[in-house]
Amino acid sequence: MPPKYHIETSQAPNRFQKITRSGIIAWEEGCLKCARCVKKDCVYQVYEKRNLDDRQMLDSLDSVCMDCFRCVQNCPNRLIHKGLNPSYKVLGDHYWTPEIISGLWFQAESGRIPVSGAGYGGPFSGPGFDAMWTDMSEIVRPTRDGIHGREYISTTVDIGRKVMSLEFGPDGEIISPAPPLVEIPLPVIFDILPWSPPGDRIPLSLLYGARALGTFAIIRQSAINNAVREFLPNAIIYVDGNPGGLNTQLLRSARIIEIPDGEGAIALQERLRSMNPDLVVMIRMKLSPKTPEQALTLVAQGAEVLHLVADEYGLEEGKDPLFIKERLKEVHLYLVNKGIRDQITLLGGGGIAMAEHMAKLIICGADAISIDIPLLAAMECRVCRRCKEGISCPVELDDVDPVWGSLRIVNLMAAWHSQLLEILGAMGIREARRLRGEMGRAMFFEDLEREIFATMGKRG
């Protein structure tokens, strides 16, 4: 049995003051000048440590307060209040909500799983991944626990084309060709970022993190420079220019390369493989209603890995777009019905914001997933997209230290890894490979609604 995969974490403090959900409002007018002010009794010394962040013009009271409400309850003239922080309300957007962003910050800082003492307070169902639930029936068995070492649970997955059968020679040797496979200990790769400040610091943070975790980060061919070359064993080169610009030495250093979908994609795959037979080639496809048929054609032509990508909200291209989990589920089942699903590796990316989304997309048929915006959020990004408009970043991401950035990314992935182990253990599944396509271990709101209300209104 291989050694258990473990991610070492370390505290990675924020560079900027956190934006918290609640803030303190402390009125001075009407103060009774009590002999012992409740502010002096704060066990966390919030008021004594109070200062103003001149870079963000934020009062430290909001981020340091531990929400014990002692000062609010004990002030005799009710001059201290807790209220919803307006800066928190404007974080992100309808999909990348303040709750998601602040959760990513917490995980990146500490490497721990965010826990709400009050439990889940959201709606019963919602759009996207919120309309899907996983079967946690094995959670009643305490030995199903991969985090604390009582049972071995593997999160390793393989990237590459698989053979359906083996041929052996007269002496027992394998004579059938075996396509190259790359094994990663965590079913996550780092995708091209939809936006980020210019410079090498953010890409280097991703590459440092990928190397520490044993996974890969996708880097554009046009962004490869001397600083990036030392990370080629953990980089997936995306061919965004002339393939002729990829020299033989570069291709021999790489283990995986990604090419865009289009006419001649398979021919380019074979050309690259002829230069490095051990190279795994991924084909990047934008999700659309035509994806199932396109995937079938590519698999029949010899494609190894299909990277199916939605937009940052998890939506495909086209009118009335489907969410990624619906379309990827359709692709997976379509290939299953054609009897060729096990030959290909499917990666899914776009709209994956939390660890539970990773597990849910794998249940829908992905072998592994790719993430982008959570990596930026790990480095304190507020998902304001100002850098996309050429406006300066409020948390100065262009000046981030790649070592600090990689620590935050490693912490985030450690928290996601722990949550994946929790899900696998609670489902009674011992490895991530077996989670793929296990739709019988999940419930989908649309299916339940159709089954429950199908007979209503019908007369016997």
Domain residues of the chain, as ranges? 22-88, 157-449
Structure confidence at residue 124 (pLDDT): 76
Q: Is 211 buried (19+), middle (13-18) or exposed (0-12) by CB count in 10 A?
A: middle
Residues facing residue 157 across a β-bridge: 184
The continuous run of DSSP H or E covering 357 comes out as: helix 355-363
Largest CA distance in the chain: 97
172 residue type, one letter: G
Would you tell me how many other CB atoms lie within 10 Å of the CB of residue 449? 12
Say whether 158 sits in a helix, a strand or coil: strand
**21 vs 63: CA distance, rounded Å:** 9
**Number of Cβ atoms within 10 Å of the Cβ of 282:** 25
Kindly give the confidence (pLDDT) of every residue in the chain, 460 residues in length, as a single tens digit, with 9 standing for 90 and above. Answer: 567 888 999 999 999 888 888 877 777 788 888 888 888 888 888 888 777 666 666 666 777 788 888 888 888 888 888 888 888 888 999 999 999 999 999 999 999 998 876 666 777 788 899 999 988 877 655 544 545 566 788 999 999 998 877 778 788 777 777 888 999 999 999 999 999 988 899 999 999 999 999 999 999 988 888 888 889 999 999 998 787 777 778 888 889 999 999 888 999 999 998 888 999 999 999 999 999 999 999 999 999 999 999 999 999 998 899 999 999 999 999 999 999 999 999 999 999 999 999 999 999 999 999 999 999 999 999 999 999 888 989 899 999 999 999 999 999 999 999 999 989 888 888 899 999 999 988 999 888 888 887 777 655 5
pLDDT of residue 120: 67
In order of 155, 281, 364, 456, the CA distances from 449 in angstroms are 33, 41, 19, 11
Q: Are 388 and 195 in contact (CB under 8 A)?
A: yes
Would you state the pLDDT for residue 361? Answer: 97
87 Cβ contact partners less than 8 Å away, ≥ 6 residues apart: 19, 58
CB-count burial class (<10 Å; 0-12, 13-18, 19+) for 253: middle
DSSP secondary structure letters along 40-68: GG-TT-TTTT--EETTTTEEHHHHH----
Q: What CA–CA distance (Å, rounded) separates 407 from 387?
A: 23
Query: What's the CATH number for 157-449?
Result: 3.20.20.70
Query: Which CATH number applies to 22-88?
Result: 3.30.70
